[in-house]
Chain A
Amino acid sequence: MSNRLRLTILGGFLGAGKSTWLRHQLHAGEFDAPFVVVNEIADIPVDEQMLGASVQTRVLCGACACCSGRDALIVLLREICNQRTMANAFQINDLILETTGVADPARIVEAIQADPVLARHIMLDKVVVILDAVNGIQSLLSEDLARRQLESADSIIFSKVGICAAEPLSKLVATVLSINPDAALSYTDFGVEVAPPDLMRCDPVEIVSDPSAPEKPISTVVLNVSDIVICEGGWATFSVWFSSLLHARGHSIIRAKGVLKTPAGRLLLQSVRNHVGVPEIVPADSDSPEHGDSTFVLIGRDFDPDVLQASLLRVTDAQ
């Protein structure tokens, strides 16, 4: 039996539910002696705080491992392999790489397999791609990357199934099978696997990529809200500002997330497109309290960071 590390690459578009799924798998003990590498496109890591302190985690932030952060990923993986082979090393059997929402898993696989050291130490177990059952069709129609992510998947997991009606889910499944007929499909809600729903007979939605109309690049903006969200008035200001931004320009915001200090505690606030989930309270004794505190990350298109920050300050001054 090979003693190589088993690598699971976890992909999926922005806001698909990668961290939620991973958190449940770790809680349920689905991985053997796991080590998690979280890659975040923003400079400020947020997702690792969802995983808590119960698992060995490293964060690679500020670059995407499939392109600009590829070299940093190779260095990090070599370091993990090196530590594993040393005396008194910590035990790792399963290595999980949670990619950014804008990563193409196939390019990460290529990079790892092309490295002579990693190829001897790491065995690719599977590529898991999470697909948002509610926003999946919209992502596939508007983002060529979302389609490429599905093409490279061994296993496709539909998330948020509980809030998706039968007909749109059936269309999405038919569309996914037309893109990757070989992948194993499963269905989850809050990361927990649920029974396959009764699907209707549907034709797939035609996904057409139009290379003549290149999309504006996805960019990341990190807002500093540490001076704002520390009192009741600060939270009121931020919630007024962000809700108005989502209403007016939600079409340009693909994903937003951040940990904000409020009177109720440290709130993990996340949105996918213009839908904001109920915030979770992050424990105060998180491993990295200095990171992600009252910073807010917006991922989308057509944003000027200075205008966003000035807009937030303008609302703050109005308080």
Chain B
Amino acid sequence: MCNACGFPPALVHWTDAGGATPQERLRIRFARIGVLNSLLAEVGLKAVDNGIAPGIQLHDLSGRSINCPTLEDLWQGVEALSGAPYDPLGALTGNPVQRGPDA
């Protein structure tokens, strides 16, 4: 159990499989935050990963925040905070995914 976030230790998530050494994995985490923030700025959100605590912290402009152990959780957090899923095809098709209230 991590004393910073309370998350139990998890199996390696597929998005963390790209680095073989701790140094590579750390560089991937920092590169990922850069990519995420350039995308999440479109919906007024900010992701933070200090490289020490596990997972990613997601913040919105009103001060709400969610701890996200994996990227999978992060996209759920984005949907919870912004009210709609982040659709990487949405801006190109002009028809982003919308979910109904039952989704």
Q: Which A residues touch B20, using CB under 8 A?
A: 263-265
- Contact A278 to B87, CB < 8 A, known contacts A235-B28, A243-B72, A314-B92: no
- Tell me which of A235, A246, A304 contacts B18 (CB under 8 A): A235
Q: Which A residues touch B18, using CB under 8 A?
A: 229, 232, 235-236, 239, 262-264, 267
Q: Is the interface of A mostly helix, strand, loop or mixed?
A: helix
Is there an interface contact between B88 and A239, defined as CB atoms closer than 8 Å?
Answer: no
How far, in Å, is B16 (CB) from chain A's closest CB?
A: 8
- Contact A264 to B75, CB < 8 A, known contacts A236-B31, A311-B89: no
CA distance A248 to B86 in the complex (A): 6
Task: Digitize B49-86: 1 where CB-to-A-CB distance is under 8 Å, 0 elsewhere.
Answer: 00000000000000000000001101110010000011
Instruction: Name the residue of chain A whose CB is nearest to the CB of B96.
Output: A248
Residues 11-65 of B contacting A (Cβ, < 8 Å): 11-12, 14-15, 17-20, 24, 27-29, 31-32, 34-36, 38-39
- Tell me which of A235, A264, A308 contacts B89 (CB under 8 A): A308
A237: CB under 8 A from chain B?
yes
Counting chain B CB atoms within 10 Å of each CB, which of A237, A248, A262, A311 scores highest? A248
A233: CB under 8 A from chain B?
yes
B5: CB under 8 A from chain A?
no
A315: CB under 8 A from chain B?
yes
Is there an interface contact between A233 and B31, defined as CB atoms closer than 8 Å?
Answer: yes
Instruction: Name the residue of chain A whose CB is nearest to the CB of B71.
Output: A243
CA distance A277 to B36 in the complex (A): 22
Q: Which B residues touch A310, using CB under 8 A?
A: 92
Task: Digitize A260-287: 1 where CB-to-B-CB distance is under 8 Å, 0 elsewhere.
Answer: 0011110101000000111100000000
A53: CB under 8 A from chain B?
no
CA distance A68 to B36 in the complex (A): 41
B93: CB under 8 A from chain A?
yes
A241: CB under 8 A from chain B?
yes
Q: Which B residues touch A247, using CB under 8 A?
A: 72, 75-76, 79, 85-86
Q: Which A residues touch B86, using CB under 8 A?
A: 244, 247-248
Count chain B residues whose beta carbon lies closer than 8 angstroms to a beta carbon of A. 36
Residues 303-319 of A contacting B (Cβ, < 8 Å): 304, 307-308, 310-311, 314-315, 318-319
How far, in Å, is B4 (CB) from chain A's closest CB?
A: 22
Is there an interface contact between B32 and A264, defined as CB atoms closer than 8 Å?
Answer: no
- Contact A245 to B89, CB < 8 A, known contacts A240-B71, A278-B11: yes
Q: Which B residues touch A120, using CB under 8 A?
A: none
How far, in Å, is A255 (CB) from chain B's closest CB?
A: 15
Q: Which B residues touch A265, using CB under 8 A?
A: 20
Is there an interface contact between A240 and B87, defined as CB atoms closer than 8 Å?
Answer: no
- Tell me which of B27, B85, B96 contacts A232 (CB under 8 A): B27
Instruction: Name the residue of chain A whose CB is nearest to the CB of B27.
Output: A232
CA distance A279 to B76 in the complex (A): 22
- Tell me which of A236, A246, A249, A314 contacts B28 (CB under 8 A): A236
CA distance A272 to B96 in the complex (A): 23
CA distance A265 to B20 in the complex (A): 8
Other A-B contacts than A229-B18, A240-B39, A249-B97, 15 sampled, CB-CB below 8 A, are A232-B28, A233-B28, A233-B31, A236-B18, A239-B14, A239-B32, A239-B71, A243-B74, A248-B75, A262-B19, A278-B14, A307-B92, A308-B89, A311-B89, A319-B34
16 contacts between A and B (CB under 8 A): A232-B19, A236-B31, A240-B35, A243-B72, A244-B39, A245-B89, A246-B72, A249-B89, A262-B17, A263-B24, A267-B18, A269-B14, A307-B93, A310-B92, A314-B88, A318-B38
When A and B form their complex, which 5 residue pairs have the shortest distance between CB atoms, in order from nearest?
Answer: A235-B18, A247-B75, A236-B31, A318-B38, A239-B15
